[in-house]
Amino acid sequence: MVLQPYPWQLGYWNTLQQRRAMQSLPHALLLEGPEGLGKSEFAVAFAASMLCHHPDTQGRACGGCEACHLFKAHTHPDFKLIEPAEKGKAIAVDQIREVVHYLSLSSHHGGVKIVAIQQAEAMNVNAANSLLKSLEEPPGNTLMMLVTGRPASLLPTIRSRCQSVLFGVPEAHLARDWLAIHLPGEEDAGLLLALANGAPIKALGFAQDKVLDCREALLRSLEDALRPRADLLKLSKLWLDSGVPVTLYWLQSYVADMLRLKLTLQPPVINNTDMVESLRKLESQFCYQGLLEFADKLAEAQRYLRGNANPRMTMDDLVLAWREAYTLAKAKRASA
């Protein structure tokens, strides 16, 4: 369990510690920003810091006191962590009712009671509504930290009752130094970081999950789909077998890069730096409108899949949408 902030989070950390020292922390914080920056770990580290009996001069938990021992054993009575019971599932209303009840009890150690809600956007409407009252009239000395990579998916009434801490992508050298420690000898660290949009923890996850392995095959599949007698079912199966979230991630990354290549005369900054030639060749066969429509389809597919759409059919539709974008550009060229 990480009990201290990551190197790139020290600015946010120090600001919150100063506010804490001045007793001006709000009752509810919304830790928001892209995935892979360590916001969840930050929330946990900050909770540990507030409960520790002997934090260091920067406010970091000591790791050795009674409170820290309880905290590390996940048994500190004044800290509650909520997250979806299963990956991809909602945070249920019962989980939030438990929070509301917990907050109504007095603190065991006479200090602050803390709740961290990870992936807060996963709260269903009932769960979010149950939390509202606690956010409006927080009982006594409490701190609620809602963590999200998709703040727009939270109810506006929830968002407006929290003070936002907006996490940005770290400076490249901080991210590179950290990755060098955690991926020693990794030659592709710079590429992984670029592919992860600069998010270090996401880059580390890419390396561990070997998501680079299917990356080339997915690019080839985009090219293969344009052949006159392309086997579209086979391509759809490849997209399905590569793991739908991974496929969607790379397709979005490729389309974003193709749009960048299409729109800028100067060499643009793209994520898939090692594939620029292939992407340029592919992009030249599409029109701007077609690429944009396909990007919309990808975003739509992501929404549908969160709503339990059939993955196989969704991938079939996407392959067809990619072909349609290509046909659109051909028709435009023919009529020009």
Binding site for Zn ion (CB under 5 A): 52, 61-62, 65, 68
Residue 312 to residue 240: CA distance in whole angstroms: 6
* Cβ nearer to Zn ion, comparing 79 with 167: 79
DSSP conformation letters of 170-201: PPHHHHHHHHHHHSTT-TTHHHHHHHTTT-HH
Nearer to Zn ion, 3 or 117 (CB): 3
Residue count of the chain, please give it. Answer: 336
Q: Which is nearer to Zn ion, 52 or 183 (CB)?
A: 52
Please report how close the Cβ of residue 23 comes to Zn ion at its closest, in angstroms.
20
By C-beta, is 112 or 169 nearer to Zn ion? 112
* Nearest CA among 263, 265, 258 for reference residue 280: 258
Q: How far is the CB of 21 from Zn ion (least distance, A)?
A: 17
- Choose between 52 and 90: whose C-beta lies nearer to Zn ion: 52
Between the alpha carbon of residue 130 and those of residues 27, 106, 336, the distances in Å are: 16, 20, 58
Give, in degrees to the nearest 5, the angle at Cα 300 between 233 and 85.
100
CB 156 within 8 A of CB 126: no
Provide, rounded to whole angstroms, the least separation between the CB of residue 303 and Zn ion: 43
Q: Is 236 left (phi over 0), alpha (psi -120 to 50) or beta?
A: alpha
Any residues with CB less than 8 A from the CB of 118 and at least 6 apart, and which? Answer: 40, 43, 81, 82, 83, 147
Nearer to Zn ion, 49 or 271 (CB): 49
**Closest CB to Zn ion among residues 71, 294:** 71
State the minimum distance, in angstroms, from the CB of residue 3 to Zn ion. 8
Q: How far apart are the first and last CA of the chain?
A: 61
Minimal distance, residue 65 CB to Zn ion, in Å = 3
| In the complex, minimum distance from the CB of residue 44 to Zn ion, in angstroms, rounded to a whole number | 14
Q: In the complex, what is the shortest distance from the CB of residue 18 to Zn ion, in angstroms, rounded to a whole number? A: 20
The β-bridge partners of 28 are 144
β-sheet bridge partners, residue 80 = 115
| 44's tokens | 């946990």
Whichever of 68 and 255 has its CB closer to Zn ion, that residue is: 68
Between CA 172 and CA 181 the distance in angstroms is: 14
Q: Which of 306, 284, 298 is nearest to 239 (CA)?
A: 298
C-alpha span between 336 and 331 (Å, rounded): 9
- Three-state DSSP at 126 gives helix
